[in-house]
């Protein structure tokens, strides 16, 4: 099922989207009220180009791999760390400052058990989730577990510590969600304030960036 839908009340039948779609996945149909409107067919590959093409903002993202397009359902800034080192604590403190601007809590996903996890609470975290505890094979299933975590908790931003295992996990998650990874907390703050997200998609064998102004999360960053 395509991740985009047409808001028929907004559609003015300009057919701009029909021309913009590289996959011939949009056509015109007559709706229940006898009005000609754009329609997305099943061969849509979710490249999202039609969203920015439509002058009426009539095409909307309804889901991407289980993610909702409604910003309101996303909550919290989560930090992913591999240990409870001073560097990890500092990242939690930075994330907490960012979370405070959103009036949101700060959570930590800790890859692996660490008896010192209370230091992360002292640094500002309200929750610490040991992700490896639910992974039967840590290396192979961490990305799956994190994807499931994103689906269930719907974080607004995920900040990955610049540590080898964590960086790798960020790349895997970004690939699975088909979204870019930011590289600084300043970028995350800016994106959160702009409430805009860039999607990267393969379109006819080329990587294409699409900016959409609707609010889709999470933001991912390696910092």
CB of 26 vs ligand SF4, minimal distance in Å:
5
- In whole angstroms, what separates CA 50 from the centre of its chain? 19
Nearest one of 81, 80, 219, 75 to 152, comparing CA atoms: 75
Work out the number of other CB atoms within 10 angstroms of the CB of residue 78: 27
Please identify, among the stretches 17-25, 119-127, 132-140, 179-187, the one whose residues bind ligand SF4 according to the rule CB under 6 A. 17-25
CB of 205 vs ligand SF4, minimal distance in Å:
14
Residue 102: φ, ψ to 5°: -95, 0
Q: In angstroms, rounded to a whole number, what is the distance separating the alpha carbons of residues 37 and 175? A: 33
Binding ligand SF4 (rule: CB under 6 A), the pick from 9, 26, 99, 221 is: 26
What residues from 127 to 166 belong to the interface with ligand SF4 (CB under 6 A)? Answer: none
In this structure, what token pair is assigned to residue 42? 């099943």
Beta carbon nearer to ligand SF4, 156 or 215: 215
11 binding ligand SF4? (CB under 6 A):
yes
44 binding ligand SF4? (CB under 6 A):
yes
- Let me know: does 202 contact 175? Beta carbons within 8 Å: no
Binding ligand SF4 (rule: CB under 6 A), the pick from 30, 34, 39, 40 is: 40
56 binding ligand SF4? (CB under 6 A):
yes
Interface with ligand SF4 (CB under 6 A): 2, 4, 6, 11-17, 20-21, 23, 25-26, 38, 40, 44-50, 54, 56, 58-59
């Amino acid at each position: 099922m395509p991740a985009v839908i047409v808001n028929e009340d907004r559609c003015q039948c300009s057919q701009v989207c029909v021309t913009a779609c590289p996959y011939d996945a949009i056509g015109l149909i007559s709706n229940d009220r006898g009005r000609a409107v754009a329609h997305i067919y099943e061969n849509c590959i979710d490249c999202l180009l039609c969203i920015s093409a439509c002058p009426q903002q009539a095409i909307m993202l309804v889901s991407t791999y289980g993610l909702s397009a409604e910003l309101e359902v996303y909550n919290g800034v989560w930090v992913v760390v591999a240990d409870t080192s001073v560097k990890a604590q500092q990242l939690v403190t930075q994330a907490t400052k960012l979370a405070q601007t959103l009036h949101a809590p700060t959570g930590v996903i800790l890859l692996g058990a660490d008896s010192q996890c209370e230091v992360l609470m002292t640094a500002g975290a309200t929750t610490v989730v040991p992700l490896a505890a639910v992974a039967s094979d840590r290396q192979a299933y961490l990305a799956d577990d994190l994807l499931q975590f994103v689906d269930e908790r719907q974080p607004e931003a995920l900040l990955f510590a610049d540590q080898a295992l964590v960086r790798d996990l960020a790349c895997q998650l970004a690939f699975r969600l088909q979204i870019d990874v930011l590289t600084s907390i300043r970028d995350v703050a800016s994106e959160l304030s702009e409430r805009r997200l860039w999607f990267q998609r393969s379109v006819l064998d080329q990587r294409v960036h699409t900016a959409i102004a609707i609010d889709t999360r999470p933001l991912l960053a390696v910092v």
